[in-house]
Structure 1
């Protein structure tokens, strides 16, 4: 496949399949009507979805309805599109592989693409959700608060507990509607922990979601001087390429300060840009532009169109703005990662593993090793979303799909971590002692520092109330735990992981 593919490959392959069947009339009919099929109901979105998934979907060959020989005639194809009037249901029930946990759709591509830039409608409260012991009742615990958000102006902080919304107790059946429903304003019913027991209080906190809140993923970057070491600590909460320059600046500060060790905190980082993951890894390891960071693997149809060199991405020596990478050139890195660490977070850990000693502190990660791309109804650009082609997107179709289209391997060819990456040092967050992020006595950071300095910590690392994670606030954003590849070659695609 050429670098600047601009036609929907699925169409060409579909037509090729038809030609092999000597059904040239069918091929011509599909070609003439591919963007505007005539049907009794409007199937513009369903048509866009099928064509895209038939071309790019990683499991295309495993989904019978996406087969190149699926339809006997054009009318048969249109009738299939008409079988489900709701595009979202069509996507989920007819086009997805049964084991696909991560592909999704959006009925508003602008809202989706803004979320990849860290912009969303939010009250700024980031929280986890856990289950009471032997119960379907749910409680929330505050992880952190986004600066300059509505929550930042309220009396609520990390470690606070809530058990209800608007006077209704949370459980597995209602927590989604109560916390992530249509209402922009809700009141949290607060609780407290005493002797490892959660007890409701009379306290309430009212929060309001506000449009266009931007979250800087660089939540904390500081130099810790302890035990005779200069340790860089970076809490990074999302791979957002709009902040790559600031990320590089943070490493410049580490380098100027003479940092010799690094603790990279990805405990709440669900993923994002593959390119940001590549740049971050280069800042940690080095600017070795001949060293393989990842090798992409696509479905059989796409894979056969590539040269091997087209599938490889190397470590970087500059950002996309041509700013030289500030690298620490480390041989060992300490990474805090948990069940909430996914996709691009795992990519950094896996991509660095062949080159340096990655010490994983925390719990087993999510296990998302596939990447996705944002697709919109722009046939002449292969339906790949390009912000410079907004005027070319079908104005009658605002839908986008974010299907998994490939899998990233590291330099050793390893990518089999669908069950998650297991920690070298197992330590769960303790709800009775979450600590202050960035402080020397925050348990997970304290454990990393003890490993770096070689000193026996006086701190007791016993976990009295481990989290039984149900979900988190980040899983109800548009981006969720998506990994998107925005590397421009070999397909000039914007891809996410």
Structure 2
């Protein structure tokens, strides 16, 4: 759970001039958060280089080094805040301990409690944080869950299987397959990496020793028969496996946002002479043998071409950088709440908000997710070799 940087997750909404580079979120206690940088802040300059219109190779190199630093040299950022004021800060990159589970809250707790979780990364430390989040929501007796995976590129498949179990509970998952991995036709029954018989990944009911929690501890459950999932083009791999795995045991999944990235494939990381290789080795399929979502999962009103079985009831809504994650008026969260209130029948009227949000009829373009600046390692489905 350690990354090198400032603790700000940058998103490039437009890579060519006029560029749009915004902050998606910050890590608690990080240099970025301490400096007052917030979601929705837009980068104007880095070390004096024009981040919007600068177009020489020297400027591009300066921007790239500032956004993804290679050493601990300080960099100065000039940003436009959502309020319209400017902020100039100098930050020195460092190793940041990430918090993969954030913004755990209960909306409308007294009348119709709905749980909300931002889950950003299937890394080892997320195990204990997810357990804490589910226990909080269970104790609040929530009626529904909105799981925000818009920035989650994947990670350990076992953690996806744990979270899916905690959402659905034992009634739907006992004895069921979360995901079955399929290699090529040369390996129909044996895992060529481990040499063992192919055994499906179950809905894990206990801790697995990823975090400080002892292994084999029973996981808390919500026992829900439906879940609302917020997605984007940065929702990949193990995150998509949560969607697919739950649908495989007939949990109703509703999708709010944009089409996911489409990675039903995965691998075992292989080290060789100091280099780690990540080659596609298998496909994941759910309990109903579905795994053909290489074009992603998409809400019903998204015109993107996807497999018919990868089209999910829900609403096409762009990202809303004008509000904090967890704010009930943030476009995607508001759409999830509105869709739920309509009996899962009606999407809210389109409206323009901050960069990338859903557009009104007649406006050009479509919802833009942009490109997250992060390691490719964080956009994968990873299996553990338990030999």
TM more than 0.5: yes
Displacement of 1:452 in angstroms is 2.6
Cα distance in 1, alignment partners of residues 385 and 229 from structure 2: 24
Q: Residue 253 of structure 1 corresponds to which residue in structure 2? A: 136
- 2:296 aligned with 1:420, yes or no? yes
Number of the residue aligned with 1:167: 48
- Counterpart for residue 287 of structure 2: 411
Question: Match of 1:210?
Answer: 94
Cα shift at 1:178: 4.3
Superposed, which structure 2 residues align to 1:129-144 within 5 Å? 129-131=12-14, 136-144=17-25
Distance in 1 (CA, whole Å) between partners of 2:110 and 2:340 is: 9
How do residues 12-23 of structure 1 correspond to structure 2 at under 5 angstroms? none
Equivalent residue in structure 2 for 1:295, among 162, 165, 180: 180
Match of 2:238 in 1: 344
Indicate the residue corresponding to 2:35 in structure 1: 154
Matched, 1:445 2:333: yes
Quote the offset at 1:413 in angstroms: 1.4
Shift of 1:344: 0.9
Matches within 5 A, 1:301-312: 301-305=186-190, 310-312=198-200
Shift of 1:445: 1.1
Partner of 2:368: 468
CA 470–265 in structure 1, closer or farther in 2 if over 3 Å, else same: closer
2:267 is aligned to 372
**Structure 1: gaps (5+ residues):** 1-117, 378-396, 493-497
Structure ranking higher on relative contact order (CA contacts 8 Å, 6+ apart): 1
* 1:382-438 CA distance string (max 9 Å, x none): xxxxxxxxxxxxxxx32221222111111121111111110221110134xx31211
Identify which of 152, 164, 170 aligns with 1:281.
Answer: 164
Larger Rg: 1
Partner of residue 274 from structure 2, selected from 376, 394, 398: 398
Inter-partner Cα distance in structure 1 for 2:384 and 2:71: 33
Residues 487 and 413 (structure 1), Cα distance of their counterparts in 2 relative to 1, 3 Å cut: farther
Change in 2 beyond 3 A, CA 1:335/1:308: farther
- How far 1:177 sits from its partner (Å)? 4.1
SS of residue paired to 1:247: helix
Alignment match, 1:332: 226
CA contact (8 A) 1:297 1:311 kept: no
How many residues are aligned here?
A: 340
**Residue of structure 2 aligned with 1:430, choices 320, 342, 346:** 320
The 5 A counterparts of 1:86-101 are none
> Equivalents in 1 of 2:179, 2:385: separation in Å?
12
Unpaired runs of 5+ residues, structure 2, are: 209-214, 300-313, 357-366
Distance 1:407 1:422, change over 3 A: same
Aligned partners of 2:115, 2:197: CA distance in 1, in Å? 35
- What residue is the counterpart of 1:482 in the other structure? 380
The secondary structure found in structure 1 opposite 2:108 is strand
Partner SS for 2:198: helix
8 Å Cα contact 1:275/1:487 also seen in 2:
no
**Deviation digits for residues 114-164 of structure 1, max 9, x if unmatched?**
xxxx112221011211128xx543221111110121112102111111133
SS of corresponding position for 1:376: strand
Structure 1 residues 336 and 368: CA distance shift in structure 2, 3 A = same
Q: Is the 8 A contact 2:113 2:143 kept in 1?
A: yes
Per-residue deviation, 1:478: 5.8
Report the TM-score when normalising by structure 2. 0.80
Give the aligned partner of residue 187 of structure 1.
76
Q: CA contact under 8 A between 2:24 and 2:40: conserved in structure 1?
A: yes
Q: Residues 202, 146 of structure 1: CA spacing in aligned structure 2 closer, same or farther, 3 A cutoff?
A: closer
**Residue deviations 1:329-369 (CA, integer Å, cap 9, x gap):** 11110000111111111110111112211000000111111
More helix by percentage: 1
- SS of the counterpart of 1:311? coil
